[in-house]
Amino acid sequence: MASHIPYDALMIMVNHSRYGGGGIYNLFSTFTTDNQWHEYLFLHEFGHSFAGLADEYYTSDVAYNEFFHIDVEPVEPNITALINNEAKWEKILSEGIEIPTLWEKELFDSLDLKWQAERQALNDKIAELKKNKVSESEIFKAQEEYNLKDKEHSVDVDKFLHNSKYWGRVGAFEGAGYESKGLFRPMIDCLMFSKGNKPFCKACENAIIRMMKSYIE
């Protein structure tokens, strides 16, 4: 049906409570709508499909390993391998910032990896309840527990990143593209890095603007 209707961006809404989505550059994106992160998911997956943005997070489990190679510069505009110690967003670097930018990574990793372990345990619990065909109310209670803790963790992450001395500055922060080491992102936080009601970083924003201009100019 979509092939008969003119469009510039195709977003597929999936009526499901499970968190998830995906975006294929210059093709389409999908996102689930019946969960607390649906607005974030819409924008995050839009970033993938419309502007070819990479995921900037690196602590969450994903369905693929070594998606990017740290000795090859990625084509995506918002992550870099710092080949020759050069960031592709050099023109918007904050004045005087060091490259790479030594942020509070170890503390962040300990905070987030602790949650990833707890998150996996909660998901395993929900899966076991469904497998054992317990009552819907019991499953709902477990899912609500997960949602509450997921939101609390997101708030903790936001507080941690906001308190960084590099908040709001553009540099090259190690940890991006599913890799803890060897890949770098432009800013301490971004809609492509962590969940929540937040903007794209400046490099992502510029990439989206460039794509919009390609449609209208």
User: Based on C-alpha coordinates, what's the Rg of the chain?
Assistant: 19
Beta strand 28-32 with 170-176 is: unpaired
Q: Which residue has the tokens 């890095």?
A: 193
Domain boundaries, the chain: 1-52, 108-161
* Cα 142 to Cα 139: distance, rounded to the nearest angstrom: 5
How far is the CA of 41 from the CAs of 60, 61, 164, 172, in angstroms?
15, 17, 25, 25
Residues sharing a CB contact under 8 Å with residue 83, sequence separation 6 or more, in sequence order? 73
Where in 137-178 does DSSP place strands (E)? Answer: 170-176
Q: What is the per-residue pLDDT for 62? A: 63
Judged by phi (left if over 0) then psi (alpha if -120 to 50, else beta), residue 106 lies in alpha
Q: What is the DSSP string of 119-145?
A: HHHHHHHHHHHHHTT--HHHHHHHHHH
pLDDT in tens, the chain (217 residues): 566 777 778 888 999 888 889 998 888 899 999 999 999 999 999 999 999 999 999 987 665 667 788 889 999 999 999 998 888 999 999 999 999 999 999 999 999 999 999 999 999 999 999 999 999 999 999 999 999 999 999 999 999 999 999 999 999 999 999 999 999 999 999 999 999 999 999 999 999 999 999 988 7
Dig out the tokens for 66 from the structure: 């070594």
How many whole angstroms separate alpha carbon 195 and alpha carbon 213?
27
User: Tokens for 44?
Assistant: 């995050």
**What span, in angstroms and rounded, lies between the C-alpha atoms of 179 and 72?**
13
Instruction: Quote the pLDDT of residue 2.
Output: 60
Name the token pair of 28: 């389409």
Q: Can you give the pLDDT at residue 5?
A: 77
Distances (CA, A) of 163 to 40, 90, 153, 185: 22, 24, 15, 18
Q: In the chain, helix, strand, coil percent, each to 5?
A: 40, 15, 45
With H, G, I as helix, E, B as strand and everything else as coil, classify residue 185.
strand
Burial class (CB in 10 A: 0-12, 13-18, 19+), 103: buried
